[in-house]
DNA sequence: GGGTGATCATGG
DNA sequence: CCATGATCACCC
């Protein structure tokens, strides 16, 4: 397989992203010499990694933006025939310990979402994986309203974590940002604050963007 | 275990 | 029908 050179400028990154638009997953994979799995059941992050490679994102699992030197986070997002996201969007892991004194301005959520390059990809499961097409990219930064919504949810969730309410926090909390399990399986444990202030163990959690929020981002970008 | 990339699959 | 809670693969 080829290792794409990392884009040096935002313009170059966008140019490459636009060049992918309209191509199929099969075409991209062929160009990179990668076999296409029959489905994503055992390869859930495969499309994301394919797009990363095509655009020359740094591989690795650092809790950082994909294009740190450009200040851009890359997100592929599965959409239906109407352009509506089919899934929530993972943002980052949530801190469950030492959260007192944390501020939105320094949060990983804010940092990751400061500038996102959205790559829509057809996601209907009745379309064979190789036939699914890549859509037009969207470079997005939260406007004032969007950031306020994110901030409110983040602050509310962090407050509950600090109060030892992790076990009562569900994905229903938050208008646009939700907290959900994020782990290999339900057996994975990490430290958290308990209601009585002691340290306990719980399933690791991540922050996710709810579908109506990302749907609105795409809708505004494409004007429908 | 903690992080990345996410989608799966079923209960409400 | 679809969002929530669970899970998959890989890296370190």
Amino acid A20 CA to nucleotide C5 C1' distance, rounded Å: 34
Q: Is residue A184 part of a domain?
A: no
Per-residue pLDDT, A33? 93
Per-residue pLDDT, A61? 72
Q: Is residue A80 part of a domain?
A: yes
Q: Is residue A25 part of a domain?
A: yes
Total number of domains in chain A: 1
Q: Is residue A178 part of a domain?
A: no
Q: What b/e readout covers A145-171, taking b as 16+ CB neighbours within 10 angstroms?
A: ebeebbbebbeebbebbbebbbeebee
Rounded Cα distance between A136 and A207, Å, is: 25
Per-residue pLDDT, A59? 63
How far apart, in Å, do the first and last CA atoms of chain A sit? 38
Q: Is residue A127 part of a domain?
A: yes
Please report, for the domain that includes residue A125, its CATH number. Answer: 3.40.600.10
- What pTM was computed for the model? 0.96
Q: Alpha carbon A113 to chain centroid distance?
A: 9
Distances (CA, A) of A70 to A67, A119, A140, A211: 5, 17, 13, 26
Strand B nucleotides where any atom sits below 7 Å of a protein CB: 1-9
Q: Is residue A201 part of a domain?
A: no
Query: Average pLDDT of each block of 10 consecutive residues along chain A (224 residues)?
Result: 75 96 96 94 95 86 86 95 96 95 94 95 95 96 97 96 95 95 94 95 96 96 90
In window 33-62 of A, residues with CB < 7 A from nucleic chain C are: 41-45, 60-61
Look-up: residue for tokens 């352009």? A83
Rounded Cα distance between A106 and A122, Å, is: 34
**How many helices and strands in chain A, by DSSP H and E?**
6, 8
Q: Is residue A157 part of a domain?
A: no
DSSP summary character for residue A36? P
Per-residue pLDDT, A2? 46
Amino acid A15 CA to nucleotide C10 C1' distance, rounded Å: 29
Per-residue pLDDT, A4? 65
Per-residue pLDDT, A19? 96
Q: Is residue A84 part of a domain?
A: yes
Amino acid A189 CA to nucleotide C6 C1' distance, rounded Å: 14
Could you list the residue range(s) of the whole structural domain that residue A125 is in? 10-149+211-222
Amino acid A185 CA to nucleotide B8 C1' distance, rounded Å: 13
């Amino acid at each position: 397989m080829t290792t794409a050179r990392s884009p040096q400028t935002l313009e170059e990154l966008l140019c490459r992203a636009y060049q992918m638009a309209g191509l199929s997953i099969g075409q991209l994979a062929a160009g990179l010499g990668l076999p296409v799995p029959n489905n994503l059941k055992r390869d859930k992050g495969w499309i994301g990694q394919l797009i990363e490679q095509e655009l020359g994102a740094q591989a690795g699992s650092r809790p950082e933006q994909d294009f740190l030197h450009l200040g851009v986070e890359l997100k592929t997002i599965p959409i239906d025939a109407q352009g509506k996201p089919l899934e929530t969007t993972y943002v980052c892991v949530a801190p469950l310990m030492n959260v007192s004194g944390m501020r939105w301005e320094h949060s990983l959520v804010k940092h990751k979402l400061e500038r996102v390059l959205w790559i829509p990809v057809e996601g209907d499961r009745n379309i064979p994986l190789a036939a699914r097409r890549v859509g037009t990219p969207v470079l997005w930064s939260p406007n004032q309203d969007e950031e306020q919504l994110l901030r409110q949810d983040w602050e509310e969730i962090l407050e509950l974590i600090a109060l030892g309410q992790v076990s009562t926090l569900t994905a229903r909390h938050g208008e646009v940002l939700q907290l959900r399990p994020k782990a290999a399986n339900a057996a994975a444990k990490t430290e958290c604050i308990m209601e009585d202030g002691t340290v306990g163990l719980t399933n690791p959690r991540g922050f996710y963007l709810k579908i109506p929020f990302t749907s609105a981002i795409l809708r505004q970008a494409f004007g429908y």
